[in-house]
């Protein structure tokens, strides 16, 4: 029986973050598994230091359009299997890595942002639904799931500094929040809220308004687990003091073996 530490971080451009102390942070924190979102790189733009960091296997899913999206997985344990989409309609934006381990199956997902307009919001809601169908099928087959990433929606008023002012903004729309309600009723647990009920806990702050200094933020990054894995989760946390992106890392600790 052991314990591992899993982190998730929307880095808003991994190459920019490497100039802001990413490698030094990684060497200090040494997570067993690190899921990155919004890497904004293509394979030909990933240098050796990123491709082969000491102690990690790395896997990348990049979008067709350069400079946007993308996810990466840094893992001390080599996954048994990997998949880079849950439906071929959604693989062009490089939003998904699914890694199967002996004790759980990990989803690293950069969910779409719906702020660009009605068409993009419809795409986001469709993405949510297709993802849930795929996750449910795995869970029904007995898999234990860890689902992390930038979900791009704050669930409840406690998860956003200014709920009234943002009630008509994508990321806090009723239909987006209702989908998280549905997701949870399907047997998934918000691990941070399982351990922490206090307000003013956020994972994203608007850079343009200097919101981080005032902690005017949104909690839009999550670790969910399927209920059949919850007894193995020993903690959930937000690393709000880690700088370098407009998001901060989040994590869980998990018993394995």
Q: How many CB atoms lie within 10 A of CB 65?
A: 12
Q: What are 251's strand-pairing partners?
A: 7, 237
- State the pLDDT at residue 67: 66
Query: Domain boundaries in the chain?
Result: 2-256
Whole-model pTM: value is 0.96
Q: Give the torsion through C-alpha atoms of 87, 140, 32, 51, to 10 deg.
A: -20
Residue 43 pLDDT: 80
What is the widest separation between alpha-carbon atoms in the chain? Answer: 48
Per run of 10 residues, the mean pLDDT along the chain (length 257 residues) is: 95 96 96 97 87 94 82 98 80 87 98 92 94 96 98 98 97 98 98 98 96 98 98 98 98 95
CA atoms within 13 A on the CB side of 142: 2
Catalytic residues: 150
- For 2-256, which CATH superfamily applies? Endonuclease/exonuclease/phosphatase (3.60.10.10)
Say if CB 153 and CB 172 are below 8 A apart: yes
Q: If you compute the radius of gyration of the chain from its CA atoms, what whole number of angstroms results?
A: 17
Tokens of 41: 């790189």
E-strand ranges in 87-215 read 96-100, 105-110, 145-150, 188-190, 204-205
Cβ atoms within 10 Å, residue 166: 16
Closest by CA position to 188, among listed 110, 82, 247, 105? 105
Give DSSP secondary structure letters for 115-148.
TT-HHHHHHHHHHHHHHHHHHHHHHHTT--EEEE
**In terms of Cα–Cα distance, which of 38, 33, 89, 98 is closest to 62?**
38
Residues recorded for the chain: 257
104 close to 81: Cβ distance less than 8 angstroms: no
């Amino acid at each position: 029986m052991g314990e591992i530490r899993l982190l998730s971080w929307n880095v808003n451009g991994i190459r920019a973050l490497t100039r802001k102390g990413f490698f030094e942070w990684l060497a200090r924190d040494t997570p067993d598994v690190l899921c990155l979102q919004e890497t904004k790189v293509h394979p030909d733009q990933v240098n050796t230091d990123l491709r082969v960091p000491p102690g990690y296997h790395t896997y990348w899913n990049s979008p067709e359009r350069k400079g946007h999206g993308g996810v990466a997985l840094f893992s001390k344990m080599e996954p048994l299997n990997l998949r880079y989409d849950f439906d071929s309609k959604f693989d062009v934006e490089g939003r998904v890595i699914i890694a199967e381990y002996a004790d759980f199956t990990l989803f690293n997902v950069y969910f779409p942002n719906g702020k660009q307009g009605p068409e993009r919001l419809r795409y986001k809601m469709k993405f949510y639904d297709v993802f849930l169908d795929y996750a449910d099928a795995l869970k029904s087959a007995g898999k234990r799931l860890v689902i992390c990433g930038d979900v791009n929606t704050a669930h409840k008023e406690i998860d956003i500094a200014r709920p009234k002012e943002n009630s008509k903004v994508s990321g806090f729309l009723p239909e987006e929040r209702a989908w998280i309600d549905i997701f949870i009723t399907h047997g998934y647990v918000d691990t941070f809220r399982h351990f922490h009920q206090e307000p003013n806990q956020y994972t994203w702050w608007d850079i343009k308004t200097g919101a981080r200094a005032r902690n005017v933020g949104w909690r839009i990054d999550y670790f969910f687990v399927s209920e059949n894995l919850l007894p193995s989760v020993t903690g959930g946390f937000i690393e709000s003091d880690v700088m370098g992106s407009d998001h901060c890392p989040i994590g869980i600790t998990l018993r394995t073996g």
